[in-house]
Amino acid sequence: MSVRLSNGREIPIETHKIRIVQKVRLAPAADRLRAIEEAGYNTFMLRTRDIFMDMLTDSGTNAMSDNQLAAMMQSDDAYAGSESFYRLADAVKEIFGYEYLLPVHQGRAAEHLLAKIFVKPGDFVPMNYHFTTTKAHFELAGGKVLELFQDEALNTQSTCPFKGNMDLDKLTAAIRKAGPERIPFVRMEATTNLLGGQPFSLENLKAVKAIVGPLGIPLVVDGSLISENAFFIKQREPGYENRSITEIIREIMAEADICYLSGRKSCSVRGGFIATNIKKYSDMIREWLPVYEGFFTYGGMSSKEIEAMAVGVREMTELDVASSSADFVKYFAERLIESGIAVVTPPGGLACHIDAKIFLPHLPQSVYPAGALAAAVYLTSGIRGMERGTVSMDRDKDGNDVFSDLELLRLAIPRRVFTMSHIEYAVDRLSWLHKNRELVGGLEFYEEPPVLRFFAGKMRPLDGWGAKLAAKFAADLGENN
């Protein structure tokens, strides 16, 4: 929720009270330098004891509600036939409108099953944009991911309300070129994570369905951030202002043949699922569920998580929950823009994304500007963000870097975790860094895994810029800041 103050500014407002808290430590700059050096300038490799604000992700880091925690106490622990599963199935039926529910341990497990069952070597999988794990699974199965976004999607300084829309001409051309039989499904990601949490419109989704439906190509929605996409449709798509989040989710799901999701985001709980109304698809997936995930009624989740998910699926449709991350993202983005920092616009779901190419114009993509910015932000603030640029792309077959379309630093806003003073602190430290940005240099790998290298790869700062930046920070703001 947000409110307009009497001075005209719109601010996010919490419609909950905080009843359980967890201490965090603001480590001094010298400790932060040691920590990032040990982490190989990769924020994934930091320990949380060295982190003040963890903005790495909103995945599995949201504050759960009292009702979710209470539901966990009533879970029905059983290997098979647990009542907890049926309570989740009821919630999914009510909110998504789907009959068949296949629980999995998290989102990428759903992607693994879909890849195994649907994607064959030589296939093409069109989508509005890739996600890292999605691409890895579909490519490991021998498929090729086709990203059919509109050109505007890559404009970080845009006013386009639906940058997650698929380009319909590109879709038609791709189907003509590959042939429908080589396309196992089309995937639409509800708020395109790597484009900055940008939504698709219902109009676009319906148009995609109108193209693929008659050809017998299934439409798969990745609903990991479904309540945020629904919230943006309510805010931005004409005709949906007065529709509820549930009504909008139901309308999205009525177009899709299969929905899968990571429960760790919109639903605020560890877990995931695949759901559909098409028995044939459910049966095909069901066959492999016990092999890779677990029995049909738990799929790798604990019964406690299943109970919390049943509550989370319903709660994410409440307007204040659906908007809890998005409203903070918007405020954070507006404050950074006021400080002269280029962020992805319009502000999306899940995170505020800083355009590292604009922040660090002196760094070419070959020295990983978004990775360098992530390390520099940690050094100057204790805030951990996530590189979403070339470091997050694996090398091609010849060992060359694949330059990412965008070089972004993602500063995620987990739901109901941070307060306004946290955001103001972040704005202040980022502004200091922006004024001192010429001190930030590039990075080079010294340890580099071949797949999903961004998770565990280690890098060094070219010309040792990290120590110089930390020293300037301490000189300006004090040793203990």
Give the footprint of ligand F0G on this chain (CB under 6 A).
Answer: 57, 59, 106-108, 131, 133-134, 189, 193, 222, 224, 262, 264, 272
**In this chain, which residue has its C-beta nearest to ligand F0G?**
107
Catalytic one of 25, 79, 435, 446: 79
Annotated catalytic residue 156: no
DSSP string, 273-289: EEEES-HHHHHHHHHHH
The C-alpha angle 467, 471, 475, rounded to 5 degrees, equals 175
**Whether 222 is catalytic:** yes
Which is the catalytic residue, given 76, 93, 132, 295? 132
Indicate the residue among 189 and 407 with the shorter CB distance to ligand F0G. 189
Nearest to 300 by CA among 134, 103, 59: 103
As measured in angstroms, the least distance from the Cβ of 222 to ligand F0G is 5
Q: Considering the complex, what minimum distance in angstroms separates the CB of residue 256 from ligand F0G?
A: 14
Largest interatomic CA distance in the chain: 66
The rounded Cα 120 to chain-centroid distance in angstroms is 27
Residue number, 82 or 106, with CB nearest to ligand F0G: 106
As measured in angstroms, the least distance from the Cβ of 155 to ligand F0G is 21
Q: Are 254 and 232 in contact (CB under 8 A)?
A: no
Say whether 328 is catalytic.
Answer: no
If the CB atoms of residues 43 and 390 are measured against ligand F0G, the closer one turns out to be: 43
Per the residue annotation, which of 265, 270, 304, 429 is the catalytic one? 265
Least separation in angstroms between residue 245's CB and ligand F0G is 18
435 is catalytic: no
Q: Is residue 346 reached through a cis peptide bond, with omega within 30 degrees of 0 on the bond before it?
A: yes
Q: Inter-axis angle of helices 465-477 and 420-435, to 10 degrees?
A: 120
Closer of 146 and 367 to ligand F0G (Cβ): 146
Catalytic annotation on 85? no
Q: Choose between 387 and 461: whose C-beta lies nearer to ligand F0G.
A: 387
Output phi, psi for 100, to 5 deg.
-105, 130
Which among 234, 388, 410, 415 is annotated as catalytic?
A: 388
**CA pair distance 368, 364, nearest whole angstrom:** 7
Interacting residues of 291 by C-beta distance below 8 A, sequence separation 6+: none
What sign for the dihedral angle of Cα 241, 247, 252, 254? Answer: negative
Which of 58, 123, 222, 355 is flagged as catalytic? 222
Least separation, in Å, of the C-beta of 34 and ligand F0G? 26
Give the integer Cα–Cα distance in Å for 100 and 278. 8
The answer to whether residues 130 and 194 touch, using CB atoms and an 8 Å cutoff, is yes
116 is catalytic: no
Shortest distance, position 129 Cβ to ligand F0G, whole Å: 9
User: Residue 388's beta-bridge partner residues?
Assistant: 408
> Of the two residues 189 and 367, which places its CB atom closer to ligand F0G in the complex?
189
Write 472-476 long-range contacts (CB < 8 A, 24+).
Answer: 472/436, 472/439, 473/29, 473/379, 473/380, 473/432, 473/436, 474/29, 474/30, 476/432, 476/436
Q: Name the active-site residue from 96, 98, 131, 149.
A: 131
Min dist CB 403 to ligand F0G, Å, is 21
CA atoms within 13 A on the CB side of 9: 10
Distance (Å, whole) CA 297 – CA 306 = 9
Among the listed residues 138, 298, 445, 454, the single catalytic one is 454
Residue 150 Cβ vs ligand F0G, minimum distance, rounded to whole Å: 18
Q: In terms of CB distance, is 29 or 408 closer to ligand F0G?
A: 408
- Active-site residue flag, 131: yes
So which residues are the catalytic ones?
79, 131-132, 222, 265, 388, 454
